[in-house]
């Protein structure tokens, strides 16, 4: 059984994951509007991934006999500067999510909730991958510049990401 404080913290993280998804969907819409379909595709895949993270936590709460309470999410920005700026924001956002997951893990450790610690280890490992992916894209964009044929090649490479 989850403690009330951990249940509340996980419910808040479900909100954070859904809010992340919404941010990435907004970024995707921006990329579609400025004719960067590969980046739009990559961000849509990220949207789906964040929703799957929320659902993983959702199911976990019920597996532990808890109750999910959904919270309101913030409206994301609708316009973004450029592709490099978008992925810098992705990295900053993922670093924030990493800190939130780490705080959840600390709370589970403090309560000696070993099952929740094990569940959160998956999220900790996932965040390493999320930050690495965003960092690699930022470096590609820095090398390619913000326009021209190389940017189109980067966009095409981003479009090759699978959505599964």
> Which structural domains are found in the chain, ordered by start?
4-159 (1.20.1260.10)
C-alpha–C-alpha distance, residues 8 and 3, integer Å: 9
pLDDT at 160: 87
Interval 42-66: pLDDT, tens:
999 999 999 999 999 999 999 999 9
Residue 71: burial class (beta carbons within 10 Å; 0-12, 13-18, 19+): exposed
pLDDT at 64: 97
User: Cα separations (Å) of 61 from 37, 48, 66, 161?
Assistant: 36, 20, 5, 30
Query: Is pLDDT above 60 for 164?
Result: no
State the pLDDT confidence band at 154, using cuts at 50, 70 and 90. Answer: confident
Across the range 28-52, mean pLDDT stands at 96
Query: Is pLDDT above 90 for 149?
Result: no
Interval 65-100: pLDDT, tens:
999 999 999 999 998 989 999 999 999 999 999 999
pLDDT at 57: 98
């Amino acid at each position: 059984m989850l403690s009330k404080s951990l249940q509340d913290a996980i419910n808040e993280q479900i909100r954070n994951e859904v809010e992340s998804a919404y941010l990435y969907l907004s970024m995707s819409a921006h990329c579609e509007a400025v004719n960067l379909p590969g980046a739009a595709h990559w961000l849509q895949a990220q949207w789906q991934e964040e929703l799957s993270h929320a659902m993983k936590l959702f199911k976990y709460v019920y597996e532990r006999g808890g109750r999910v309470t959904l919270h309101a999410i913030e409206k994301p920005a609708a316009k973004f500067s450029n592709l490099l700026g978008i992925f810098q924001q992705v990295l900053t956002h993922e670093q924030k999510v990493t800190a939130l997951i780490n705080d959840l893990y600390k709370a589970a450790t403090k309560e000696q909730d070993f099952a929740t610690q094990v569940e959160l280890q998956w999220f900790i490992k996932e965040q390493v991958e999320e930050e690495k992916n965003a960092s690699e894209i930022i470096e590609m964009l820095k090398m390619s510049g913000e326009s021209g044929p190389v940017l189109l090649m980067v966009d095409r490479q981003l479009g090759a990401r699978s959505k599964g």
